[in-house]
Amino acid sequence: MDISMGYDASLLEALLQAMEQAHDELSAIKSSDPAAIGEMIKVRSIAKRLNEHWLPLLHRVLGCEAMTLYTSPPPDTTLFDQFLKLPKHSGCASSQSNGFLTGSGAAGAAGSWFTWPTSAHPWRSTIDPLAASDSAMTVDAAAFLGAWVTDHDGQYTEADLAFLQAQLARVETSSEFVTAFLAAISSSAFVDLVNELGTTQAEIRLGDLANGYGEQHPENHASIDHAVQHIATIIVTGQHEGVFTMTTAELSERLDPYPAALLVQQMHLDADELGALSVAIIRREPVESSYAMSFERSVSAAAVLMATILATVDGPSRYVVALVAADLPGQLITDPINRELSDRILFEGTRPDVLSAGEQSIVIPMLVDSMTQFIAWNPRPNPDPDRDVPSLLAMVMAPYLLQIFGPGSGTTRPGFDIDVDGRSLILNLIDQNPAMANYLAAERDQFALSFDEHLGHDFESDRQLFGDLALLLGILDGIYERAELASGDRARAQLALFWSVAAMAGLPLPTVGKLGARVGATGAQALMEGAGVGPASPHEARQKVTGDTDARSAVMASVIVNATFDAFVAQGRIPAASPRPPEPDTGADRVGLDYVGALSAWISEIEVDAETAAWLLVATTTFLSPHEAAKDSISSYDDDD
Amino acid sequence: MPAAPDTPDGLRSRAAALRKVALVLDAARIRSLYQRSGVDVWVGPTPSRCLDEMLTHRNSVARAADDLRRVAKRLDEQANQASAAIPKAI
């Protein structure tokens, strides 16, 4: 099929004038005779067709220099001869199409083959308005499109965009078309095309926003989105066929940030490439693009790419890793173009289940350092009062408290490379920002995330897990204490965390639900509340807090023991007639020690094998001891102590 | 004062008016536009469609002119019949 149209401008101008006169004549014909109604309708219909279709079309063709390709006389006489052989006034589109735009393919498209016969006036060629709607693609047509884009100058009109979208959609359907199109378009024209599309789309969207349409009129920029989508497919096909030699990174570097973002969005890249490209594009934006500085933050490369990152599997984590690799950990924090998207990427991209242990040890300390520095240098109200960086810091830290504040060794989570000063700085921030402690108290599920191993594998791994859980509870309690969280809130937060982690760790407890209801909601709750009397003085407060912690630890240990007891009875490892385990006496001076003693006595009473007995005792003692150790480690950073 | 349209004079007047319109249509430029729309002026899918359409318009206008003349002839015949019937009635 042909997508091109050739014409003699002067003769077409004459046709236009004749058509205008014909229209005026037909419009002037009147008859009120009822017997002529049918004929008058016919006449008016023809006049209407001229006025509404053909006259505007002729005006458009004659007035649109931007769509005109070649105006030089034809050097190719072969084509001229072929043209002369075309049937005159055949009225048949297909017969005229034969020989039209004949040529030797893509190489000729941008060269001399596309030329027209001439006598007094040179012929011009342009894109045929009909071609966008009802034709199939050919290699020659694809080449012509490439040549047309190369020669295009200035803004694309609405009609141009609709045409481009339709034609690019046809080009992408075949590697032959893609090859012909790419061979006929210069790389700079390709870059200009994408830049032009992106700039036009930005203007349309900004106009929409300025007029209050928001995203309510997506059709305004749908043509561009589709055109960019087809271009992305053409690039991928061209790269595969070896006819598009620029890498996506090289191409995006030559593009303005916003158009580059639109293109990358449509490339369906894997998370690693998307992350690396996004870093490179977004870092250029504040300098090179005015869109990022406009009030509509959604019209920015960052907004486009961040939304794409969030929609891509592993996108957030790969982007965060790429940011850190580029030594730009603060890009999501210090000057985010889109806070909501940045926060979501931070949250989803720093979870333990999306970062390897090695990545965690590099990414998290750098992010934490970046955020602590930001908070230190921008005391609230900071330049962006809505930006609650302390809570963000708490969010990022939450699954990694063991690595940040833990002993560094002896747990399943090796410590991060954060020195004493760094940890002190974080704790001081917690002291000064109640929001951080509140987050750490409320978002208990984030801590449970750090426990990706389950109980029940073997004795040693279960002991390690209990040990880690106890450490974590101790760290949190130390943080709660520093933040002067109300004792009742602390107790509730710890118990809630305990149950979350127990569920996450998959305690091998068939009666865990029942036990949870009995001990968690009644027994343990009562024990907690009994231990949570408000302090009268700082000294009493410290004593009370210590007592509270001891009592809560003992209660939690008893929950483990009770649950395990039920599981072992069900498995036949403990006789069903055995007495139930003891419960801690929270009124005692040394709740934990007394509980361990009572538990030892109970174990010696029941008939269990040595391994079961050891499991019960070790689970309890490992739970109680590291808790205190971890809490002490937090206190050691306290300058006041 | 114009004759009533269904009187013999009125019918003849209508027929004459319709013939005038038909003549105007015969001479209308729309009938020759196809000659300016051929491949010596422009080529391509749109020009091809334009040429087809101009040929169709030419034929439509020609038929419309012929139809108007046929109607005019019928009106003349009705007028003659009406004129012939008037003396008998007297």
pLDDT tens series, chain B, 90 aa: 566 767 889 999 999 999 999 999 999 999 999 999 988 899 888 888 899 889 989 999 999 999 999 999 999 999 999 888 876 554
pLDDT for residue A225: 85
Q: How far is B4 from chain A (nearest CA, A)?
A: 13
Q: Does A129 touch chain B (CB under 8 A)?
A: yes
pLDDT for residue A501: 57
Residues of A in contact with B24 (CB under 8 A): 25, 29
pLDDT for residue A129: 67
pLDDT in tens, A398-447: 888 878 877 666 666 777 888 777 888 888 787 777 777 777 766 655 55
Tokens for A346, please give them. 């931070």
CA distances to A9, A20, A101, A326, A530 from A12, in Å? 5, 12, 20, 59, 97
ipTM rounded to 2 decimals: 0.93
Q: Which amino acid is at A192?
A: D
3 state SS of A127: strand
pLDDT for residue A454: 54
Find the angle CA(A385)-CA(A387)-CA(A390) to the nearest 5 degrees.
110
pLDDT for residue A485: 61
Record the pTM.
0.61
Residues of A in contact with B18 (CB under 8 A): 31, 33, 35-36
Q: Does A250 touch chain B (CB under 8 A)?
A: no
Question: CB A92 to CB B48 under 8 A?
Answer: yes
Find the angle CA(A551)-CA(A489)-CA(A466) to the nearest 5 degrees.
50
CA A440/CA A448 separation, integer angstroms: 12
Taking Cα atoms as reference points, which of A262, A257, A305 lies closest to residue A285? A257
CA A520/CA A500 separation, integer angstroms: 12
Q: Which stretches of chain A score pLDDT less than 70?
A: 1-3, 64-122, 129-136, 209-221, 286-298, 334-337, 379-387, 407-412, 441-463, 466-467, 469-470, 473-474, 477, 481-553, 555-556, 559, 563, 618-641
pLDDT for residue A337: 64
pLDDT in tens, A309-348: 999 999 999 999 999 999 888 878 766 567 778 888 988 9
pLDDT for residue A320: 95
Question: CB A93 to CB B24 under 8 A?
Answer: no
A89 CA to centre of own chain? 58
pLDDT for residue A280: 92
Ordered DSSP codes for A422-450 = HHHHHHHHHHH-HHHHHHHHH-HHHHHTT
pLDDT for residue A274: 95
CB A625 within 8 A of CB A553: no
